Amino acid sequence: MMKHWIKTAALAMGIAVTGVSAADYMPAEEIRERLEEILTRSGGQVSYFEGPSGMIGVGVTMRNGQQMVFYATPDGETVFSGVAVNARTGENRTRADMEQLPAPDYEPIFRRLENALRTVEGEDATQAMVAAREGTEGGENVFYVFIDPRCPFCHSLKQAFDQVKAQGHELSVHYIPIGILGQDSRMLASAMAASPPDTAVRIFMAAADRNFRVGNQELAARGEGRAGANLAMFRELGFEAVPVVISHAAGEFKARAGGMTAEMIERSIMGSEVAIADDRRRP
């Protein structure tokens, strides 16, 4: 029986992807080139599958792990994003197609942060990324966490990490300060970036009190370059809100946009937490 589809769509422009993953379904090279002229601009991965009603299905995985589904006309002249719904059954075809996309590979993001946060000597250190580490140095369970000092969800996440550490689990947590919630948070992030790890963590914890302010303006000024480098990496990776957790635990590389409870962190280091970001898949 022929399926009838309702498509609500907008023309997709400027989606960041590179490369084509192997799949059973593959459009002709000429059509792929036409599609990738639009879709390959900023890094990432694209895969193809058979779309509804003879259309070409295209799965896009951004560098930050977010995934989206697009549909293209058979000639590859037009690309749409949106939701394809089976008009007879009401099935959300786009969601079903999303489930078949290959899982994102978060190791490159983790390794990039790992390399960027290595100790930098000399003048370049004032413009290099920096994080405040807590917990075991090295080890198997490593978490890089982008935080804004004024973000209440970031403070809840720290409390969750503290609970897990108090239970005897060994983990290394690197808090990467950025200021995206206004001038006040930018000054706090800069002060953290200019401080030794223990002091930076204390500033972060104190910032949970909305009345707390940075008393040492010179300290904040010294950290502007490093906090700026943190923010530049955050933007480059395509993240938009905090907290963001990128981890290597129990042998798995994971990324998550949003908070985590102590139970979720514990499952992660025990190897039973699903490796997806909260909003990785759209719609």
DSSP letter string, 91-156 = -BHHHHHHHTSPPP--HHHHHHHHHHTS---SGGGGGS---EEEE-SSSS-EEEEEE-TT-HHHHH
pLDDT band at 175 (very low <50, low <70, confident <90, very high): very high
- Is the confidence at residue 18, as pLDDT, over 70? no
Q: Give per-residue pLDDT as tens, 43-66.
A: 667 889 999 999 999 988 877 777
- Residue 196, preceding peptide bond in cis (omega within 30° of 0): no
CATH class of 5-99: alpha beta
Confidence check: pLDDT of 277 > 50: no
- CB–CB of 131/246 below 8 Å? no
Tokens 């919630």 correspond to what residue? Answer: 181
Percent of the chain at pLDDT > 70 equals: 83
H-run or E-run covering 248:
strand 244-249
- Give the integer Cα–Cα distance in Å for 248 and 79: 36
Q: What are the pLDDT digits (tens) for 187-204?
A: 999 999 999 999 999 999
Least confident of 26-40, 82-96, 141-155: 26-40
| CATH 3.40.190.10 fits domain 107-282 | no
pLDDT tops 60 at residue 127: yes
Q: Closest by alpha carbon to 200, among 211, 208, 188, 210? A: 188
Domain locations along the chain? 5-99, 107-282
SS3 22: coil
Nearest CA to 94 among 68, 60, 76? 68
- What does the pLDDT read at residue 243? 97
The pLDDT assigned to 24 comes to 64
Q: What is the pLDDT of residue 123?
A: 43
Question: Is the per-residue pLDDT at 209 higher than 90?
Answer: yes
pLDDT at 269: 93
* pLDDT exceeds 90 at position 206: yes
What pTM, to 2 d.p., does this model score?
Answer: 0.75
